[in-house]
C-alpha cells in the first residue's frame, strides 16, 4: 500500500482534529493534496477561515463540549484524532477534560456515526523516562505528570470504546518535527539564539525524531490497513543522539551547541517537584525526567514496519534541509553568519 496514492482515500469525508496545530494541520494539507474530502474540528473562527481557504470543511467545536462532535463525525469514514492538551492551563482538570474525556466523547460519537476507523495520535511520552534497553509496544507505561498520565488515559478510553465495536489504531510517535513546527524547532532555535544550553550531559543519550511527512505516511497506513485494527504502533525515524539531532539546528544559524551538566538538571527538577508540592498543583518536571536525555534505549518500530509496511522514506538530512527552508521563510531563523550547509 502506497500512502501517497490518492486512491487509498475514501470518497466519504475524513475528520481531522487538531487541524489548527502542527500535526493536524500538516495532515490536513497532505489529505487535501491527495484529493481527500477533509472535515476539521476547530475551536476558533480564525482557524476555520484559514482552513476553509485550503479546501477543508471546518466545524466549530471543542472536545470538551459534546454538542458539536456528532456533527463533526457525521458521514465520516475515518477520524484522525490529533488534538490534545498541550499544557495550558497547567492543571490536572484541564488535562483530563481534553485528553481523556474529550477523546472518549469523540470516540463514542465516531462509533455512533459508524466511522470505519479511528486513528488516535498518542505519544512516546506514555513510556515516561524509561531507560529500558528496548522500548516496544509492550514496555510498561509510566503515568508521571499530567500530560503523560492523561495520554495514557486517552489510550485507555480509545480501547474501551473499541470493545464496543469501533475499529481503532493508536500511534505513538517520537519527537515530530518539520515544516509547520512552531514548538520543538522554534523552541530549540530560541534557546540557541540566546546562547542557552540545549544538551544535557553532552547529548549522548538518544532522541527519537520523526519527520512530519514520515509520520503522515504512518497515519495513512494505520487508517487503511485491515491488519492494524486494535493495535498500537511505535513510529520514529531512528535512534539519534541528541547532540547529532540538535546540531542540525545549531548549524542552521551558526550557533554554538552548549551542554549543561546532568546534576544541574536533576537539581532543577527537584525544585520543580518541590514547587508542585508547595502549590498543590502538578509539577512541571520530575527527577526521573533526566532519563529523556541520558538514555540510550532503542525505540523499536518493528511492528509498524512488519504490519503497516511503514518505513521512513525521507532521510534526516533531507528532512532537516526542508525544515530549515520553512523556518527561514516563517521568520523563525535568524542566523548570526552565513548558515553552513546541512
How does pLDDT run across 192-250, given as a tens digit for each residue? Answer: 999 999 999 999 999 999 999 999 999 999 999 999 999 999 999 999 999 999 999 99
Q: What is the pLDDT of residue 341?
A: 46
Q: 282 pLDDT exceeds 90?
A: no
Closest CA to 232 of 288, 158, 322: 158
Query: Which element (helix H / strand E) includes 168?
Result: strand 168-173
What are the phi and psi torsion angles at 200 (to 5°)? -120, 125
User: Domain residue spans in the chain?
Assistant: 6-177+208-238+298-314
The owner of cell 542557552 is: 196
Q: What is the pLDDT of residue 337?
A: 58
SS3 306: helix
Whole-model pTM over 0.85: yes
> Average pLDDT for residues 301-311, to the nearest whole number?
97
> Average pLDDT for residues 165-186, to the nearest whole number?
95
What is the total residue count of the chain?
342
Give the C-alpha separation, 44 to 48, whole Å: 6
What does pLDDT average to over the chain? 93
Percent of the chain with pLDDT strictly greater than 70:
97
Tell me the CA distances in angstroms from 221 to 4, 279, 285, one per residue in order: 10, 44, 35
CA geometry: angle at 51 spanning 45 and 52, to 5°?
85
Contact 3, 220 (CB under 8 A): yes
Which CATH code is given to the segment(s) 6-177+208-238+298-314? 3.40.50.720
Percent of the chain with pLDDT strictly greater than 90:
80
Amino acid at each position: 500500500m502506497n500512502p501517497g496514492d490518492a486512491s487509498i482515500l475514501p470518497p466519504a469525508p475524513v475528520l481531522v482534529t487538531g487541524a489548527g496545530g502542527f500535526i493536524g494541520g500538516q495532515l490536513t494539507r497532505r489529505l487535501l493534496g491527495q484529493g481527500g474530502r477533509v472535515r476539521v474540528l476547530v475551536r476558533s473562527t480564525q482557524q476555520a477561515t484559514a482552513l476553509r481557504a485550503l479546501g477543508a470543511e471546518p466545524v466549530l467545536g471543542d472536545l470538551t463540549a459534546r454538542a458539536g462532535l456528532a456533527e463533526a463525525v457525521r458521514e465520516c469514514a475515518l477520524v484522525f484524532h490529533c488534538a490534545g492538551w498541550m499544557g495550558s492551563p497547567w492543571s490536572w482538570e484541564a488535562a483530563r477534560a481534553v485528553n481523556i474525556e474529550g477523546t472518549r466523547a469523540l470516540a463514542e460519537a465516531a462509533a455512533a456515526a459508524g466511522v470505519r476507523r479511528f486513528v488516535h495520535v498518542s505519544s512516546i511520552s506514555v513510556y515516561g523516562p524509561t531507560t529500558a534497553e528496548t522500548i516496544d509496544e509492550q514496555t510498561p507505561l509510566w503515568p508521571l505528570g499530567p500530560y503523560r498520565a492523561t495520554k495514557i488515559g486517552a489510550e485507555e478510553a480509545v480501547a474501551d470504546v473499541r470493545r464496543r465495536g469501533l475499529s481503532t489504531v493508536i500511534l505513538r510517535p517520537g519527537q515530530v518535527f518539520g515544516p509547520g513546527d512552531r514548538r520543538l524547532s522554534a523552541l530549540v532555535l530560541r534557546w540557541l539564539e540566546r546562547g542557552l544550553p540545549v544538551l544535557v550531559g553532552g547529548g549522548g543519550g538518544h532522541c527519537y525524531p520523526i519527520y512530519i511527512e514520515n509520520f503522515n505516511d504512518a497515519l495513512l497506513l494505520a487508517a487503511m490497513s485491515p491488519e492494524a485494527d486494535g493495535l498500537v504502533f511505535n513510529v520514529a525515524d531512528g535512534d539519534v543522539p541528541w547532540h547529532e539531532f540538535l546540531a542540525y539546528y545549531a548549524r542552521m544559524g551558526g550557533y554554538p551547541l552548549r551542554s549543561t551538566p546532568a546534576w544541574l538538571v536533576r537539581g532543577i527538577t527537584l525544585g520543580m517537584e518541590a514547587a508542585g508540592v508547595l502549590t498543590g498543583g502538578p509539577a512541571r518536571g520530575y527527577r526521573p525526567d533526566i532519563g529523556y536525555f541520558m538514555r540510550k534505549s532503542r525505540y523499536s518500530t518493528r511492528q509498524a514496519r512488519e504490519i503497516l509496511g511503514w518505513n521512513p522514506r525521507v532521510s534526516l538530512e533531507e528532512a532537516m534541509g526542508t525544515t530549515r527552508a520553512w523556518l527561514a521563510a516563517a521568520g523563525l531563523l535568524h542566523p548570526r553568519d552565513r548558515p553552513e550547509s546541512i
